Structure 1
Amino acid sequence: MMDLNRIKLNTEQLPVDIFSTVAQEAAEHIQPQPNERGRTADTNKSTQLRKFYDELAMWHDKVFQAADRAGEYQKAAPFIQMLKAKAAYAQGRGHVDKHFVEMFNRIIGEINSADSLKNAKLFFEAVLGFRKAHEAK
């Protein structure tokens, strides 16, 4: 079980291993677990996770294309935080599991500026990369 407190994205000095070891541990944390019949659950599929990444990337691009990044971030912040509700809804529909929601909420909760939004996007990108590599095995 991963210690989600290791995901620190809103600091001046990012942990050295945030996009490597921590991202890899997060990817393992959200791997679908086999059910009682030994079959992998239908949660946390790549397409579902990609939807969350795409929306986070869209907010990132919107903020970073603006002349006033800080001002644009302030306008976008409530909608970025609303991604937590979207994750909860996806969990309720059986598309993602509690492990993904916990990790994703931690990522979104760490966002409090344009820079931390950039770090969150990069971290989630690294997680998806490690997850895809694990999926291919």
Structure 2
Amino acid sequence: MNYNTPQRPYQSQINKQREEAPLPPVNEIKFDGLKDDIFDSVARKSAVSIEKNNSTQIRKFYEEFCKLNDKAKATKTEKEFSDILPFIKMMNSKVAYAKGRKNVNENFVVLMLSIVSQVKDKKTMQNAKLFFEAVVGFHKEIADK
């Protein structure tokens, strides 16, 4: 047995060997006039792009998004929805903070910016939530491989 060489590669060496994840398909993510593959292949591509992120962090943001969606669904007027919209947009700053703490990577930031930027009414909020739900589901499958 040769004691001069490590028996197992260090985690940093493993990470360097991994291929860089592709960017999220932001040009395909549209919540107005849904395409038939938005919750399928587009969500899967998005999940692949964020596969290096911890599923706990992703679920944390998804759960907060669900709470905001519930509040949005409870609104009866555009004025009431517009009162919630700043809190939806605040998700961007929370994602940036998580990136600064190295809890999420740049691909997750890009994906969330794309999702949050398209929310402008109850319908787009619901579609964004469903898309995020699909991404979380595909991420679980991909991350467990």
What interval of TM-score do these two structures reach, taking the shorter chain for normalisation?
0.7 to 0.9
Cα distance in 2 between the residues matched to 1:50 and 1:69: 29
Larger Rg: 2
Cα distance in 1 between the residues matched to 2:143 and 2:25: 22
CA contact (8 A) 1:63 1:69 kept: no
Cα distance in 2 between the residues matched to 1:50 and 1:79: 18
What are the equivalent positions in structure 2 for 1:90-101 lying under 5 Å apart? Answer: 90-101=98-109
**2:97 counterpart (89, 103, 106):** 89
Cα distance in 2 between the residues matched to 1:69 and 1:22: 31
Give the match for residue 22 of structure 1: 42
CA offset digits 1:80-120 (Å, max 9, x no partner): 00100100000000100000000011000111111000000
Cα distance in 2 between the residues matched to 1:73 and 1:18: 24
Count of residue pairs the alignment pairs up: 123
Identity %: 41
CA shift for structure 1 position 72:
2.5
Q: CA RMSD in A?
A: 1.1
Give the match for residue 108 of structure 1: 116
The answer for unaligned runs of 5 or more in structure 2 is 1-21
What's the TM-score, normalizing by structure 2?
0.81
Give the match for residue 4 of structure 1: 26
Cα distance in 2 between the residues matched to 1:3 and 1:28: 10
1:119 maps onto 2:127 in alignment: yes
What's the TM-score, normalizing by structure 1?
0.85
CA shift for structure 1 position 69:
4.8
1:56 maps onto 2:56 in alignment: no
Counterpart of 1:112, as a letter, is K
